[in-house]
Amino acid sequence: MILKTISWNMFKLLLISCAIHSLYYQGHAQSDAGGLETFNPEDELEMRGHYRLRGNWKFNIYHKKNQTSKWLQIGQRSGDCILKSYNEKEKRLLIEKDGAMGGLSLNKIEAASGTAATTPASGGNSITSTNLRFKNGLYYELGKEDTPFTGNATKKYPTGKPWYQRGYKDGKKHGATMEWFPNGQIKYKMLYTDNQRTGVWTYWNQEGKVTAKRQYEKNQFVKNLPLK
């Protein structure tokens, strides 16, 4: 009877020991994987900008597969990925996809090239086109709706090459508007003065050949010009 009691107690101790070791190794496995970070969101997304307005963070998320860029808040999604939370100290956005978690940081290359802004740029500077909002006939910088925007709005291809640029003055289209092909060749150049079309508008093909030249005055088309 005594031997049976000892054997049973030893068996229970063995079970407890196995349970402790199991929990220990599970904890270390989770720690080695970075906690809940079980996938890499940077394979699908880029965070190209972020700012806080009235206590709420917004993030400019670029979806690589869809080639779309949107300003999103916590709880919203880009494709299959959901924005869960933001660690201000580490400047890291927690992303969930199909129950897996991963961290996303600001794309430093895009930020350095001017494609992203951690906070909306001041008037007169170059900002991303996704930072613009159109309201009551005028353009405003996101988060600064009390002052019409003056400066350039730009957009770049994922390769970093320029895609689009437009000038603004006091919330109106002003100066040059240009777009480029993915190979870097300019596609067109258009001119505005206080929202009105003006000057010579020129168009090119991907090989750099001029395909059209049009003259405008006071927002009205005047004539086609010789291509040479």
Q: Is residue 73 part of a domain?
A: yes
Average pLDDT, stretch 96-110? Answer: 77
Rounded to two decimals, the pTM is 0.48
Q: What is the pLDDT of residues 52-99, one digit of tens each?
A: 766 788 887 878 887 777 778 999 989 899 999 998 888 889 999 988
Instruction: Output the pLDDT for position 64.
Output: 80
91 & 133 share domain: no
Q: Which residue has the higher pLDDT, 72 or 35?
A: 72
In this prediction, residue 61 carries a pLDDT of 84
**Same-domain check for residues 127 and 171:** yes
Percent of the chain with pLDDT over 70: 74
For 130-189, what is each residue's pLDDT tens digit? 888 888 899 998 888 889 999 899 998 888 889 999 999 999 999 999 999 998 899 999
Are 163 and 218 contained in the same domain?
yes
Higher pLDDT, 216 or 122: 216
Q: Are residue 134 and residue 215 in the same domain, yes or no?
A: yes
Among 73, 88, 109, give the residue marking a domain's end: 109
What integer pLDDT is reported at residue 20 of this predicted model? 47
Whether residue 184 is found in the same domain as residue 95: no
- 61 and 143 assigned to the same domain: no
The predicted structure's pLDDT at residue 90: 84
- Range with the lowest mean pLDDT among 8-12, 62-66, 123-127? 8-12
Say if 124 falls within a structural domain: yes
Please indicate, yes or no, whether residues 194 and 129 belong to a single structural domain of this protein.
yes
CATH number for the domain harbouring residue 69: 2.30.30.830
The answer as to whether 126 is a domain residue is yes
Give the per-residue pLDDT at 191: 93
Q: How many domains does the chain have?
A: 2
Look at residue 115 and tell me if it is in a domain: no
pLDDT at position 208 over 80: yes
Query: 200-224 as b/e, with b when 16 or more CB fall inside 10 Å?
Result: ebbbbeeeeeeeeebebeeeeeeee
Say whether both 136 and 210 belong to one domain.
yes
In a domain, 13, yes or no: no
Co-location of 134 and 101 in the same domain:
no
Identify the domain containing residue 180 by its residue range: 120-224
Domain shared by 102 and 129, yes or no: no
- The confidence score (pLDDT) of residue 168 equals 93
Which whole number is the average pLDDT over 27-52? 64
Q: Is 217 in the same domain as 131?
A: yes
Among residues 109, 133, 151, the one where a domain terminates is 109
Tens-digit pLDDT profile for residues 11-29: 555 555 554 444 443 443 3
